[in-house]
Structure 1
Amino acid sequence: MKSPITRTAISLLGVLSVAMTSPALAAECGGNLGQFLNGVKQEAVSQGISARAADRALANAAIDNKVLRRDRAQGVFKLTFLEFSKRVISQNRMDHGRKNMSKYAAVFDRAEREYGVPRAVITAFWGLETDFGAVQGDFNTINALVTLSHDCRRPELFRPELIAAIRMVENGDLDPARTTGAWAGEIGQVQMLPVDILEFGVDADGDGHVRLKASAPDAILTGANFIRHLGWQSGQPWLQEVIVPSGLAWQNTGLGKALPVREWSAKGVQAKEGSLASNDLAAALILPQGRKGPAFLAYPNFSIYLEWNKSFIYTTSAAYFATRLGGASRYNAGNPDPGLSDAQMKTLQRILQGKGYDVGKIDGILGAGTRAAVQKEQLRLGMPADAWPTPQLLSRLQ
């Protein structure tokens, strides 16, 4: 069974923001599909791709309305960190992760040696994205990218991916009739977009092709190469569960408020297992469900998770999954204060928006903007400013 949330359901791989559609691209989207595909072919040929490859790639291309429905309906999963992490980090997934790390030990050795990315980190993404290749998506990749390129909502993101997919057809790494993947065009066991596959793909099994669907070694090394590109710092930690004192100044917690480890130690923050990282290393103290739930120090490498996927809950779960695969014990769930229902969260967001905060779309999602606003209002009201919205906070703001 595919993970209930993946990079494709939240944000596109490697895309940190959605730019406004340029006039040139807007003029090339929509309209007659045949004319649109002819324009795509001309662009592909202008980039050195053969007309024959473009014709083969686009011969039977069609609009997939299921892709459009998925694109319109996408949204961050609304479970809490405890709910989501417990659901996606099952014992079965843990067992399969360990077995795969053993089965492909030599490949992971190479990934760590050449790219500096730990096997547990790669394996966690591999497991969450596709259950280690078991469920990779059943959308025709060419049709998905044609659909999203033709649609005028975000052609600036998808047209380059379509051109890259045509180049993959020319290289023999994509079959336009048979290659399937996620609704947004990601392919393979670690779900990567064609542009990234072309740039970071590694032929790990030596067959002359980069085939992320069928080859686990290719997927492992390509994933490692991409993670290194995102800025992974070899030999450094990414996430560590900690024990925090009850009297901590909670307004100092949260992403974007990193302090040297020595300062956290001076404030009474302790490692749950082992010891904290180097005193000079910066870390942010994150509390996914407030001061009464699990607490983690997020080191610089944690930022790579946020580039893979912008959802705080997904990235924290993925980073935590990697620590578990690396030998850490199960987190201390604590006893978090009750959170808000979907309707209550939307009400809170409207109130915060009315106060001038940028919480983005009123969608019931506890995103970065809402968390930051909650923390500021908690501090103003003299409440523990741990960025976890509760019914008590909502009541005081109403």
Structure 2
Amino acid sequence: MRFSLKLIPLLIMCGASPALAAQCQPPGGFNAWLEAFAQEAVASGISPRTVSATLTGLTPDQKVLSLDRNQKVFKQSFQQFAANRITAGRLRKGAALLKQHASLLARIEQRFGVPGPVIVAIWGLETDFGAVMGKQPAIRSLATLAHDCRRTEMFQGQLLDALRIVDRGDMTPAEMRGAWAGELGQTQFLPTSYIRFAVDFDGNGRRDLIRSTPDVLASTANYLRGYGWRPGQPWTEGTANFAVFQHWNRSQVYQKTIALFATKLAGGV
């Protein structure tokens, strides 16, 4: 579909800003919702060109809705979950990457206060150190979840920030591929976290969490610092730094797995 962009200059001229999120699952279906959302995005300051280029032709993805309703992995016990993720091979790879990127990780810790083992543990858990980032078109996934009424407000916000990532030139819509819920990059940032915490640590003028290892690792550290990471303090369960992991993932099983993986890496495996 093509949006009614003739309405957009009027919205800008009037200084309109959305008071409410676009109504989820309106009578006109997905296309009616997408039209309303497009107008809201422009009223939020995103360029009409970005909105049209990014949203035109989208259709909902029923597979994404199915995955959203069947997240069984976090129902495992900590022992089951950790055993499947802190493998001997992943520990060896993590230890090798700690050595390979020792200078980079030292600079990141100096700036953000987060030690290398914690960053590398998250890197390994999220995408097997960048090997498995997902191939789902992020814009389509986010639009599907934003149109759905289960968590519409959250995902409309994520979709707006995905458009902002495109608008500021960090990524093109085609480059925005990741996990089924719209997570992007080697440590799987949702768009709102990308906007808030992604940093250009390699100095090339873009915040690239897909191809740039310096940007990926520094942005991960910046995320943890943003939620209160305390430099030089432990991260084991019951500490202030362990509590920061809940902002990374709400599952305590996942939080405990980050802590254990990082501890093993810090101990030289």
TM-score normalised per structure 1: 0.60
Summarize the alignment of residues 170-185 of structure 1 with structure 2, pairs less than 5 Å apart: 170-185=167-182
User: Does the residue aligned with 1:298 lie in a helix, a strand or coil?
Assistant: coil
Structure 2 distance, partners of 1:80, 1:73, is 17
**Higher RCO, Cα 8 Å, sep 6+:** 2
State the partner residue of 1:130.
127
* SS of match in other structure, 1:63: coil
Q: Give the equivalent residue in structure 2 for 1:8.
A: none
Q: CA deviation at 1:26?
A: 6.9
Greater C-alpha Rg = 1
In the alignment, which of 112, 119, 122 is matched to residue 115 of structure 1? 112
Matched, 1:149 2:146: yes
SS at 2:186 equivalent? coil
Task: Identify the residue that residue 265 of structure 2 maps to in structure 1.
Answer: 325
> In the TM superposition, what are the counterparts of 1:77-226 in structure 2 within 5 Å?
77-226=74-223
Instruction: Give the aligned length.
Output: 250
Query: Could you tell me how far apart the structure 2 residues matched to 1:172 and 1:313 are?
Result: 36
Letter in 2 for 1:146: A
Contact 1:28 1:39 in 2 (8 A): no
SS at match of 1:172: coil
The equivalent residue for 1:33 is 30
Choose the corresponding residue for 1:316, options 251, 256, 269.
256
CA deviation after TM superposition for structure 1 residue 178, in Å: 4.0
Which blocks of at least 5 consecutive residues in structure 2 are unaligned? 1-18
Task: Tell me, in whole angstroms, the C-alpha distance in 2 between the residues paired with 1:308 and 1:85.
Answer: 16
The superposition leaves residues 200-219 of structure 1 with CA deviations (integer Å, 9 ceiling, x where unpaired) of 11011112111111111111
CA contact (8 A) 1:200 1:222 kept: yes
Describe how 1:38-57 pairs up with structure 2 within 5 A: 38-57=35-54
Structure 1 unaligned regions, length at least 5: 1-22, 240-296, 330-398
Deviates more, 1:49-58 or 1:104-113: 104-113
> How far off its partner does 1:76 sit?
4.6
Aligned to 2:23, what secondary structure does the other structure show? Answer: helix
Instruction: Spell out the pairing of 1:215-294 with structure 2 (5 A cutoff).
Output: 215-239=212-236
- Percent identity (aligned): 43
